[in-house]
């Protein structure tokens, strides 16, 4: 079955600390992968995407993600978190079979000052 799993429901980090949010996918071919961020009262905003090529993808707001085929993962990273990064983060995969985005359940990030 095609699915996206975000193992961490809630993560808390201190401001200035590094961040890694995990995402695992299940798909029979090379997937198209995305990370979105959702701030309270806001719509989802695309942080970055991976279609092919370089497995390390740079996005907006200082985020990056690395596609690892051997681990079926697409983890999101940021070297130094800012208080404004507190939000919910969604990993998503485009399913060619269903012609739609499949989202993970999300990881809620809290940032301590």
Partner 1 sequence: EAGVVQSPRYKIIEKKQPVAFWCNPISGHNTLYWYLQNLGQGPELLIRYENEEAVDDSQLPKDRFSAERLKGVDSTLKIQPAELGDSAVYLCASSFSGGRLVDEQFFGPGTRLTVL
**Contact positions vs partner 1 (CB under 8 A):** 4, 9, 32, 36, 41-46, 49, 51, 90, 92, 94, 96, 99-101, 103-106
- Paired with 92 in beta bridges are 34, 103
Give yes or no for a contact between 107 and 37, defined as CB atoms under 8 angstroms apart: no
Question: At closest approach, how far in Å is the CB of 31 from partner 1?
Answer: 10
Is 70 in a helix, a strand, or coil? helix
Beta strands at 10-14 and 107-112: parallel, antiparallel or unpaired: parallel
Alpha helix ranges (H) inside 5-95:
none
Cβ proximity to partner 1, 85 vs 106, nearer residue = 106
Question: At closest approach, how far in Å is the CB of 8 from partner 1?
Answer: 13
Question: At closest approach, how far in Å is the CB of 78 from partner 1?
Answer: 20
């Amino acid at each position: 079955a095609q699915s996206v799993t975000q193992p961490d429901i809630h993560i808390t980090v201190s401001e200035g600390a590094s961040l890694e949010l995990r995402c695992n996918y299940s798909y029979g071919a090379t997937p198209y992968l995305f990370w979105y961020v959702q701030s309270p009262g806001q719509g989802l905003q695309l942080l970055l995407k991976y279609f092919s090529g370089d497995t390390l993808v740079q996005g907006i707001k200082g985020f990056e993600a690395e596609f690892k085929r051997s681990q079926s993962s697409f983890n999101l990273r940021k070297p130094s978190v800012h208080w404004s990064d507190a939000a919910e983060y969604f990993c998503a995969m485009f399913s060619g079979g269903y012609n739609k985005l499949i989202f993970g359940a999300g990881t809620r990030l809290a940032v301590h000052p």
